[in-house]
Each structure stands twice: as C-alpha cells, then as structure tokens.
Amino acid sequence: MTNELADTAAKTTAHFLITARYLAVLNAVLLAISLATEHHIGLNVILAMGLLYLHIRLEFDQRIFMHTTNFADFDRTLLTLGLVKQTTERDIFQRAKGTIRLWYAALFATLVQLALWLI
C-alpha cells in the first residue's frame, strides 16, 4: 500500500468521524429533554453514559486518523504508555472499519434514545 493511499484512507475516515459531533448534539438535546420531562430518565442516563464513551472514542480516533498514518509508532506509544496490554498488527483499512463500527454503534444508540423519547 502506498503512503498516498494510506493518507487518503486516514483523512477520509477522519472526515467521516467528524459527523459524530452532530449525533453528540442530538444526544445531549434528547438527554436534556428527558431530564426536563422526567421521561425514561433511568434508561436515558444509562444510554447517555454509553454514548459519552463512544463519542470520546470517536473524537480520539478522528484526531488520530487526521494526524497519523504511521500506526506502528502509534501502537508502540500506546503500549509504552500502558494504554493497551498488547497490540496486533492491523492495516489502516482494518482500523478504519473498526472505528466506523463504533460510529454505527453510536448511531444505533442514538436511535434507541430517540425511540425512548417518542414512546
């Protein structure tokens, strides 16, 4: 794989992940409405905690994809800092697919949150 292809894949993934910010705004609005109307508060708070984790991960991944194409160095840094116990070698496309799955998980949780509001 060429460096240009890896760079394009990383930047495309980063730009796609930026859209998660719109989901985060919708999540915050739905949580605020839920808290104000006392509508399914428990379920919405649990969803909000899960969504907060997903949005933190998506923002982190977006910044990594925007600024990094050398993931071997990135993996070594994560290992050195103790943020992971072990690393597996993955190419940029495997990493992009994994982070896009996180985006879809956030979308699904947002749809569940919206469905709770509509009930």
The 10s digit of each residue's pLDDT in 45-82 is 999 999 999 999 999 999 999 998 788 888 899 999 99
Closest CA to 88 of 101, 79, 96: 79
| Side-chain-facing half-sphere of 92: CA atoms under 13 Å | 23
Exposed, middle or buried: residue 96 (CB in 10 Å: 0-12, 13-18, 19+)? Answer: buried
Domain count, the chain: 1
Determine the pLDDT at residue 2.
79
Categorize the per-residue pLDDT at 106 as very low, low, confident or very high, splitting at 50, 70 and 90: very high
Task: Name the amino acid, one letter, at 115.
Answer: A
Domain range for residue 91? 3-118
The 10s digit of each residue's pLDDT in 11-23 is 999 999 999 999 9
Determine the pLDDT at residue 68.
85
% of the chain surpassing 70 pLDDT: 99
